[in-house]
Amino acid sequence: MLFRQIIHEDLGCASYLVGDTAAGVAAVVDPQWDIDPYLHLARLHGVRVEHVLETHNHADHVSGHGRLARATGATIHIHELAGAEYPHEPFADGWRLALGEGASVEAVHTPGHRPEHTSFLLRDAGRGGDPWAVLSGDSLFVGDVARPDLAIEPRQGAAEIFRSLHERLLALPEETEVWPGHLGGSLCGSSGIDLKTSSTIGFERRHNRALELDDEAEFVADAVATLGGRPPNVEHIVALNRGPLVESISSPTRLTPHGFEAAIATGALAVDSRTNEQFDEAHIPASISASAYDTGFATKVAEVVPVDAELLIVAASDGNELEAAELLAAVGLRVRGYLGGGMAAWRAEDRPVARIEAIDLAELARRLDGDGGPRVIDVRGAGEWEEGHVPGSLHVPFAELRDRLDELPRDRPLATICKAGKRSGLAASILQREGFEGVIHVSRGNAAAWPARTAS
């Protein structure tokens, strides 16, 4: 049996290639937008991708099922409750798919995250034919369970997740391997999702905090109380995944500095995908900073730009801009063009640049001790803020910044801060774009470490 896990590091998503090398047949489960890894693996192992299986209509990323079906001729399969509008073969609970004589997949309906959500049991005839693994999708994660609020009323969703876990998945033998649809960093669970790629039913039963709650009412109350921020543009992404097959979201055009400037003048929004440090040193005026070198790049951009925005990319070197565009397409964002030659081309023509002052925690402390110091804007999440923050700072999570600009003072400098300087760099660029003067980026230092610093 051929089995491979493919991880999308930027989104924290996991997909799978499952096949029978003797029969030369394979299926892809929950394909990511970039289908090249599946085509590459299929060539390496001499199998044909004949089936695409979806655990559900994804809400945090655009599926590559349309691209994969076009490239391979594969049939797409999804639960009958999904309401899919594209050509597909619907299935119900208990449906089985044979991949040659050796490998097979069985559908286990596990609603909660979404009504159609389905996990898949894997069987290998060469190892006795009993289920040896479950592809748990967005139901059971390593160290966590899925969020219940992206499709139906949260308490109803949580109750269905509880029953799916305790009546279906936890009934599997303890040695059954668990291969989830998301890893740490995904917004489809909570901060409890582990970065590990797999587990077992027995290990999760013993160590997964959510599974310690064996009373349904207690589980529901906890699931609702611990909900974090929703993935951005949920309705838009679900509509793309449920609707007619999508094979292309954007075809970025290489732009000269003049063309790039003209596009900004007509309303396009420039996203600088270089490092935050490079952005602070010099950037194109009115652009925002989101480093594609860090995980969560596409999600962070989707949190702060309108879903219908026309985006432009500035990258560190040729080729990186197309990678950034593909990452943005994976969350349903369209890239109109990119700056050919990057900032080197822009500066070679002596075009204007903007800068943001970057400081560390020690310098921030020095300025706060004096008169006329900056107002600190903490852009971390609520849980991080509660762990510790700079006294007197204003808490505005970066995803809320665009809607809360009226709460910020314009008569003094603003200093943005987070945990590692990434979200605060994005926030500083947004503030500068919105006309705030004297914006400061605390690029080094964790806001939660402030009490320790003052106590030393």
Give the model's pLDDT for residue 451.
61
Torsion, Cα of 278, 282, 286, 289 (10° steps):
10
Handedness of CA 322, 327, 329, 333 (dihedral sign): negative
Query: Can you give the CATH number for the domain in which 108 is found?
Result: 3.60.15.10
Q: Per the domain annotation, does 248 fall within a domain? A: no
Residues 35 and 100 in one domain: yes
Residues 338 and 428 in one domain: no
Query: Can you give the CATH number for the domain in which 438 is found?
Result: 3.40.250.10
Give the model's pLDDT for residue 350.
96
Give the model's pLDDT for residue 456.
35
Instruction: Judge whether 319 and 291 are in contact, CB under 8 Å.
Output: no
Q: Per the domain annotation, does 17 fall within a domain? A: yes
Instruction: Judge whether 254 and 270 are in contact, CB under 8 Å.
Output: no
Domain span at residue 49 reads: 2-242
End residue of a domain, out of 196, 223, 242 = 242
Chain centroid offset of residue 142 CA: 17
| Number of domains present in the structure of the chain | 3
Mean pLDDT by 10 residues, the chain (456 residues): 96 97 97 98 98 97 97 98 98 97 96 97 92 97 95 96 98 98 82 91 96 96 90 95 95 96 97 97 97 94 96 90 95 96 95 97 91 93 90 95 95 95 97 97 90 46
Structure tokens at 325: 């565009």
